[in-house]
Amino acid sequence: MPKVIKTKTEFEGHVFEEYVVVEGEGLSAWEPQAPLKFVGQKTPRIDGPERVTGRALYTFDVQLPGMLYGKILRSPHPHAKIKKLDTRRAAKLPGVRAVLSYKNTPKISFRQGQTFVFDEIVRYVGDEVACVIADDEEIAEDALELIEVEYELLPFVLDPEEALQPHAPKVQLSGNLLNGKPDLYERGDLDQGFAQAGVIVEGAFKTQCALHNCMETHGSVALWEGDSLTIWDSTQHIFGVRAAAAQLLGLPLNKVRVIKKYMGGGFGSKNGLGKYTVIAALGAKMTGRPVKIMLDRHEENLAAGNRPATVQHLKIGAKHDGTLTALELRASVGAGAFCTWPPSVGGPARQLYLCPNVKTEQHTVFTNTGPLSAFRAPGYVEGTFALESLMDELARKLDIDPIELRLKNYTEIDQMTGRPYSTKGLREAYERGTKLFGWDLTPRSPSLKGRGGSPPTLGEGLGERFRRGFGMASQIWSGNGSPPAYALVKLNPDGTATVISGTQDIGTGTKTVLAQVAAEELDFPIEKISVEIGDTQLGPYAPLSAGSMTVASVGPAVRVAAHDARQQLLDIAAQVLEVPRESLTICDGLLSSSAIKEPVAVKDVLEKLENFMIIGRGAREPNPEDVTVNTFGVQFAEVAVDTETGEVKVERIVAVHDSGRVINPLTLSSQIEGGIIQGLGYALCEQRVVDKATGVVINGNLENYKLPTALDIPEIVFEMVDQPDPRANNLGVKGVGEPPIIPTAAAIANAVADAIGVRISELPITRDKVLKALKKE
Amino acid sequence: MATKAVRAKKLKVAIRGPGKTAIKLTVNGETHELLIEPRRTLLNALRKDLGLTGTKKACDEGTCGTCTVLLEGKPIYACMALAIECDGKSVETIESLSKDGQLHPIQRAFIAEDALQCGFCTPGQIMSVKALLDENPNPTLDDVKRVLSGNLCRCGAYPKLFQAALRAADLVRTGR
Ligand code: FES
Ligand code: FES
């Protein structure tokens, strides 16, 4: 019988309480040294062939008979009221099938009432105004130019600090401060903490607005069959899109199906339902034909989310031996025009170090710019940059080795809840990272100072004009995974198995990891396992693929389902083979028993049962209540700064992370490297630029928004602590998607400060900032 | 940061249109006659008219390399060529690489090295590597980096892309 359990779940710094249904047998985690056949292997992606042949079907590739294309007209103004909208000329253009706007569509509230799918007020350059549905994209684009709109321009505000001023234009009627008040956290007594401090360091840190630029843009295809709607969507959460689409369109859940087979990146920006999805569904209804809307690169960079800019005032108090006594953070975050999910910028300050007196205050502020969305470790990347930069300053001031300072304030207890960590491999990560990087050989190391301070040259000599620097930074992130997450494992009559779950692979290798887990538990050859995900009609519920939670949420459910299938198989085989159940074992897909001579293939048993299909069911168990499950890590950076051009060249990144047991070292290494490379772009070159006079994004394309390219990649060396976390879940795994992006920018910034002797406290660290800093010197 | 423009030298195009015009396109060895708008890009002709959706689009303006195909054996951004420019020419796309269900060594190397995450940039990366190896079967790491600098990968698969390209070169050279 299914059991209902009330449990706490954490997602990206927010805690929820919910009921979950648990079914299947509770399994304990494999022993750390258990001999495992598939888990822990470098298994190449099981869907590799589809991906390298171009046969993998992305939402962008869906082409249906009679399919039409939609193109969205977007506001050229940062804040305006639409006074007149005339679509008649557009509608007459040959090939145009419909023009949608607030005039001919139902008023559908969006983003918790902050806007409508078609709103008469536009709040940022890029806000949706109308949509043309036509035979082809080019025709739709032509038609957009024929739509006549008269706007009444409204005063606008782009800067979060200005938006908080009393007479600032209101972006949202309820005011520019999200929820009308700052998000406040306090523990201990801050004043007393600062009074106890022997030294105080403080600083203002600024981080930029960064754009996800997933290679596949956001988009959907909508198809009506009678009153049933099928949506192909490039999404990280098929079940979330199903629920939201059903609600907004007034449809029962069983009439909405959401499919996402492959997607070209999300990084948090595809966590929820987009307006384009609703518009595609409305357009398809209106025209009676399937409709596809894919944003183009420019729209993507206006309307598809971003990592918001922050300003962080941070102050740290410490005793002379480095013991932290107080930590205070005041952060403002520019939400853009809409926001229902503020990132937790104060997370690292609250959690990373032992500190009794902490206060964090976050103002999330609406502005007339494109709305924020989650972006790989939202808040933590920004917060870690400020915290770890200032910790570096503190180390300098106290003349303590940066690692030693961090060890001094190491905590085995979660500072937020008072519970111990289930496992914390950060100390080991520091040790291993220090060795891997050769930290003790850098001039920053006190041991070297002891030797008279002559810096050894690591790598090649650089010459006069270059200065070399070394830095490090730590990372904390939840990554615990949680229920609800469910899976089925079907055993087919031919002895193959199909894993089914309503999860999705956003590029991390989910399918492969789930196949490894199922193969391990079933003890079937992995070639016999296939994995079906990404379709709400197929699978039981699984959570969104975000928050580094997919493997730690869905993986354990798959293991339980595989276990259930295996038990059923043994029950059945014992009867078919007429042997005692206890005598039966499965190994490599073969059934053996002391009561029979030769092992029997699973197929030979199941085939006797006509087309009976064993279906194992599994659910993710609740998280433990008495411990906190978190991920940890450290990264080291070596940079060379060109003092003539200001260019920062990252030469080497060394990373050591603790994410529990590693299921697949191959796909995991891709996650680590990818996170670091995104972190490098964030540290050095990525920045959305908005024109102050017009609110227009002036680099919303891949030419002027600078992403790291093949020529910018440093040497990346990493290790995993790879200690299974038996309290975390039945696999002993923690997430790994987000941890690697978290400390990169801070480590690079610390290395730059080490190289040039001046702290740059604003990201990205571009050449102009370096040159300016050098003149200040 | 650097982006390398991969573009064939300016092609001579006779003025066509307005309205649809007929072209002959040899794609992966098969010749097709198409009736298309003169403004149709090669990329859209491949994807929409021929249903070859393996070639992706991430920018449609020559800044990402996702749409890389080979035109007369040379890599180009398919979004930057009009289909009419390619009239009578031959194009190779990702779909041409595996033969009789056998993956091309480059494809095998990409899987073995996990040189992909979301996989959206992958067809373009593979075609760039193909162009490189066709020209230079023995590339250095620097050659690989230079060639791939015109292909963005937002997932950051670069280190693995480099390894895959070198492994592919090895497989091709040794005929494996
Ligand atoms: S899609 Fe052609 S270069 Fe980006
Ligand atoms: S694998 Fe995702 S963009 Fe390259």
Active site residues of A: 738
The number of CA neighbours under 13 Å toward the Cβ of A440 is: 10
Burial of A15 (0-12, 13-18, 19+ CB in 10 A): exposed
**Domain for residue B123, yes or no?**
yes
Does an H or E element contain A745, and which? helix A744-756
Residue A255 C-alpha to ligand 2 middle, in angstroms? 33
Is the pLDDT at A23 greater than 80? The verdict is no
Q: End of a domain among B62, B95, B128?
A: B95
A567 and A495 in a common domain: yes
**Domain for residue A41, yes or no?**
no
A457 and A321 in a common domain: yes
A515 and A371 in a common domain: no
Residues 6 or more apart whose Cβ sits within 8 Å of residue A708 = A677, A678, A680, A681, A684, A685, B1, B156, B158
Q: End of a domain among A154, A179, A198?
A: A154
Q: End of a domain among A567, A590, A619?
A: A619
Beta-carbon contacts below 8 Å between A and B: 179
CA distances for A608 relative to A205, A370, A592, A601, angstroms: 69, 61, 17, 12
Q: Which phi and psi (to 5°) does residue B52 adopt?
A: -90, 85
B90 and B28 in a common domain: yes
Distance from C-alpha of B20 to C-alpha of A239, rounded to nearest angstrom: 43
Looking up residue A377, the CATH number of its domain turns out to be 3.30.365.10
B81 and B35 in a common domain: yes
Chain A residues near residue B2 by CB distance under 8 angstroms:
709, 711-712
End-to-end CA distance of chain B: 36
Say if residue A764 is preceded by a cis peptide, omega within 30 of 0. yes
**Domain for residue A213, yes or no?**
no
The number of CA neighbours under 13 Å toward the Cβ of A275 is: 34
Q: End of a domain among A570, A588, A619?
A: A619
The pLDDT tens digits for A567-620 are 999 999 999 999 999 999 999 999 999 999 999 999 999 999 988 999 999 999
Closest listed ligand to the CA of B150: 1
**Domain for residue A195, yes or no?**
no
Distance from C-alpha of A565 to C-alpha of A562, rounded to nearest angstrom: 5
Domain span at B167: 105-174
Whole-number mean pLDDT of chain A? 95
Residue A215 C-alpha to ligand 1 middle, in angstroms? 10
Q: Average pLDDT for residues A316-322, to the nearest whole number?
A: 98
B88 and B35 in a common domain: yes
Looking up residue B130, the CATH number of its domain turns out to be 1.10.150.120
B152 and B82 in a common domain: no
What is the token pair recorded at A265?
């990146």
B36, B84 in Cβ contact below 8 A?
Answer: yes
Closest listed ligand to the CA of B120: 2
Q: What confidence category does residue A459 fall into, taking pLDDT thresholds of 50, 70 and 90? A: very low
Number of domains in chain B: 2
Distance from C-alpha of A679 to C-alpha of A744, rounded to nearest angstrom: 5
B115 and B82 in a common domain: no
Q: Average pLDDT for residues A413-419, to the nearest whole number?
A: 97
Is the pLDDT at B2 greater than 90? The verdict is no
A462 and A486 in a common domain: no
Helix intervals (H) in A34-136: 48-53, 88-92
What is the bridge-based pairing of β-strands A584-587 and A715-720?
unpaired
Tell whether A741 is within 8 A of chain B (Cβ): no
B156 and B112 in a common domain: yes
Chain B residues near residue A69 by CB distance under 8 angstroms:
none
Burial of A763 (0-12, 13-18, 19+ CB in 10 A): buried
Chain A residues near residue B57 by CB distance under 8 angstroms:
60
A637 and A532 in a common domain: no
**Domain for residue B155, yes or no?**
yes
A598 and A669 in a common domain: no
Q: What confidence category does residue A465 fall into, taking pLDDT thresholds of 50, 70 and 90? A: confident
**Domain for residue A431, yes or no?**
yes
Q: Is the CB of B58 under 6 A from ligand 2?
A: no
ipTM summary value: 0.96
Is the pLDDT at A448 greater than 80? The verdict is no
B159 and B141 in a common domain: yes
Looking up residue A96, the CATH number of its domain turns out to be 3.90.1170.50
Sheet holding A584-587, edge to edge: A584-587, A590-593, A600-601
What's the sign of the alpha-carbon dihedral A14, A18, A23, A28?
positive
Number of domains in chain A: 3
B169 and B110 in a common domain: yes
> Å from B86 to nearest chain A CA?
20
A496 and A468 in a common domain: no
A511 and A611 in a common domain: yes
Q: Which atom belonging to ligand 1 lies closest to the Cα atom of B62?
A: 3
Name the 3-class secondary structure at A178: helix
B119 and B83 in a common domain: no
Tell me what pLDDT residue A776 has. 61
If you measure CA to CA, which chain B residue comes closest to A714?
Answer: B159
The pLDDT tens digits for B107-160 are 999 999 999 999 999 999 999 999 999 999 999 999 999 999 999 999 999 999
Sheet holding A715-720, edge to edge: A466-477, A631-642, A648-658, A715-720
Residue whose token pair is 């960590």: A421
B118 and B82 in a common domain: no
A489 and A461 in a common domain: no
A474 and A419 in a common domain: yes
Residue A46 or A23, more confident = A46
The pLDDT tens digits for A42-77 are 999 999 999 999 999 999 999 999 999 999 999 999
A582 and A524 in a common domain: yes
A773, A467 in Cβ contact below 8 A?
Answer: no
Q: What confidence category does residue B7 fall into, taking pLDDT thresholds of 50, 70 and 90? A: low
Q: Average pLDDT for residues B11-33, to the nearest whole number?
A: 87
B72 and B123 in a common domain: no
Which residue in A53, A265, A710 is closest to B54 by CB distance?
Answer: A53
Distance from C-alpha of A50 to C-alpha of B100, rounded to nearest angstrom: 15
Domain span at A553: 3-35+481-619
Q: Is the CB of B103 under 6 A from ligand 1?
A: no
Is the pLDDT at B5 greater than 90? The verdict is no
A658 and A572 in a common domain: no
**Domain for residue B146, yes or no?**
yes
Q: End of a domain among B77, B95, B113?
A: B95
